[in-house]
Structure formats: structure tokens, C-alpha cells
């Protein structure tokens, strides 16, 4: 059977759509600065950052433990802690270290976690911009 070009060569253990959702929401949460001055005559950003953060945390919490570990491993790869070739080891360590911990809180404590996840995908040759949402 031929490999679908949209499928990554490695089994990430999580859907690309779920990763893209986390990337998008993490960027929105982490880029929203309630103290920032609006540009020119634009209205200030009135998004409820707390509600967005809670919604993202709830989304991550609803993922299976293996999917949560995959997010952590992708962030580690994006940060340079592991290489794509070390995927199995990164996932194993994420499962061990993440057992019984709050994955959402851990991920959201990382600076620029959305970008780290996107870089993690890029290490596998996956452009997050091309993932259907």
C-alpha cells in the first residue's frame, strides 16, 4: 500500500489536526498581552485570555495520555532537547516524566510553546501551515 503524502513517515501518536489546534490556541494565549497598547485607532484586544487558556488546557486534558506525551516530545524536539531521530526515546521520556502530572500546565509554562510544537513538526518535514483545520 502506498503512503499518503499527507501522512508523516513516523507515527506521532497524535493527529496533526490536534497538534495544529494546540499550536493555534497556544500562540493566541501566549501572544495576547492585556497590557499592550492598541495600534493606532484599533480597539484594544478584549479577548478573555484566561478563558482561552482554560479552554486550551481542557482540550489538552481531554487527550489520551499517549497524545499528551506526543505533544511534550514534539515540544522537546522543537526546543532542541531531542532530534527527530530520537522520537521513540523522547516519547518514552515524556510518558515517564508526565505520569500523574498536569501536561497542560507544563506545556503552557513553556515560552512560545506553539512555535516549539511547530518546530517539532518541521523536524519531521511537516509544515504546520499546511495542516487542514
What does the pLDDT read at residue 131? 94
Q: Is the pLDDT of residue 17 over 80?
A: yes
pLDDT higher than threshold 90 for residue 44: no
| Angle, helix 87-98 to helix 65-79, in steps of 10 degrees | 120
Query: pLDDT > 70: what percent of the chain?
Result: 82
Q: Is the pLDDT score of 118 beyond 50?
A: yes
Alpha carbon distances (Å) from 37 to 19, 34, 47, 74, 76:
31, 8, 14, 33, 33
Query: What is the Cβ-side half-sphere exposure of residue 116, based on CA atoms within 13 angstroms?
Result: 21
What is the pTM (predicted TM-score) of this model?
0.82
Quote the mean pLDDT of the chain. Answer: 86
pLDDT over 90 at 38, yes or no? no
Instruction: Give residue 9's pLDDT band: very low, low, confident or very high (50, 70, 90).
Output: confident
> Could you tell me if 85 and 53 are in contact, meaning their C-beta atoms sit under 8 angstroms apart?
no
State the pLDDT confidence band at 1, using cuts at 50, 70 and 90: very low
* Phi, psi of 62, deg, nearest 5: -80, -15
Question: pLDDT tens-digit profile of 50-98?
Answer: 899 999 999 999 999 999 999 999 999 999 999 999 999 999 999 998 7
Cα–Cα distances (Å) from 85 to 9, 95, 98, 123, in that order, read: 12, 18, 21, 9
What is the model's pLDDT at position 6?
52
Residues 118/78, Cβ–Cβ less than 8 Å = yes
Amino acid at each position: 500500500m502506498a503512503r499518503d503524502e499527507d501522512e508523516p513517515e513516523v507515527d506521532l501518536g497524535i493527529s496533526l489536526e490536534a497538534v495544529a489546534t494546540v499550536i493555534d490556541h497556544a500562540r493566541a494565549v501566549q501572544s495576547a498581552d492585556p497590557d499592550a497598547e492598541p495600534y493606532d485607532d484599533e480597539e484594544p484586544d478584549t479577548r478573555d485570555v484566561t478563558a482561552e487558556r482554560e479552554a486550551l488546557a481542557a482540550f489538552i486534558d481531554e487527550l489520551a495520555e499517549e497524545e499528551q506525551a506526543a505533544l511534550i516530545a514534539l515540544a522537546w524536539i522543537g526546543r532542541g532537547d531531542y532530534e527527530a531521530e530520537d522520537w521513540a526515546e523522547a516519547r518514552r521520556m515524556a510518558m515517564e516524566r508526565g505520569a500523574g502530572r498536569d501536561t497542560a500546565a507544563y506545556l503552557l509554562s513553556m515560552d512560545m510553546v506553539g512555535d516549539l510544537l511547530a518546530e517539532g513538526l518541521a523536524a519531521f518535514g511537516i509544515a504546520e501551515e499546511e495542516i487542514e483545520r
